[in-house]
Structure 1
Amino acid sequence: MLKKIFRQVDRVFLFFEEWSLFVAVCVALLAAMANVVLRKTTSDFNIYWSDEIVRKVIFFTTYIGCVAAVRSREMICIDALPQMAPGLKKPLALFSQFTVLIFSGAMVYLGWQMTVMMFEDEYAKTATLQIPEFYFYAILPLMGCMMFIRTLITIRETWINKRDITGEN
């Protein structure tokens, strides 16, 4: 039952990650390329907001990419010590996973506080497009929740299914 729920949640997260990252990177790439082409081909026309879009996309892809890194088991972990002492592999894996849970909990808590703070500040808008900043800060608690759930799924796979921390059997 729990395995089925985790599998469905994993599919939903994977769909969101892949498509949101794809769309965000395409938008940033098109805006940046259009700006470069216009800058080089005309002397007086420039897309003044393209740099802002690229910065916001980098922000978005960094945090949503963290969730994808948990799924693919490519988060920072203690790597050299388990190779020298194989008996420490499971305890260090557990330590790494609980550290990620603490980090993701902090992202939910602090991200939510920052999102509320930006929501309450009527002047907190992006410089050129005047988009309210709280939309961008809302990514932080979303990422924290997704990362927390993904880490729980990873812990279950590691400990119940006897999979390696790297995803191997």
Structure 2
Amino acid sequence: MSWAIATFFGAGHLRPASGTWASAIAVVLAVLAYEAGFALLVPLGAAVATVAGFWAVPHYLEGLLGDDPPEIVIDEVAGQWLALSFTVIPLWWHDVPNLLLGAWPGWLMPFLLFRIFDIWKPWVIGRADQRGDPAGVMLDDLWAGLFAGIVSVVLAGVYHGAVAPWLG
């Protein structure tokens, strides 16, 4: 069970860039949930993936060499769904009908920003990653998801408040 959760049912074995693959799969699942009318499954999924990851990662790491093998991607899934929650919830609240094509920045920006923060690892993201323990495996991606979500909302506010009015 810890293998299935930690690798997100084997997605962590996709190469190259297993974290990017897992993030992309998380985005696809979030968009599908939104389009099917279940937008609130995204933040719920983030919470479930977080709790499951904090349980599974220590169990998966028992007896393995290294503190964050690339096949562990539940942290990317949790962080990506956290980032997406910042845009999906307001879009759902405002009854935006089409996330895939109509409101595509609502999934593209959190995806790109999450990957940037996860790879770059500035500030507390890097500190969490340097912990070298199972909690650090999860925490760096949760911080990256939080920052990606916040920046996505700020960029949306700038666009809708300052840029869009000028475009007519």
The interval holding the TM-score normalised by the smaller chain is: 0.3 to 0.5
TM-score, normalised via structure 1 length = 0.40
Q: Which has the higher contact order (CA 8 A, sep 6+)?
A: 2
Q: Which has the larger radius of gyration?
A: 1
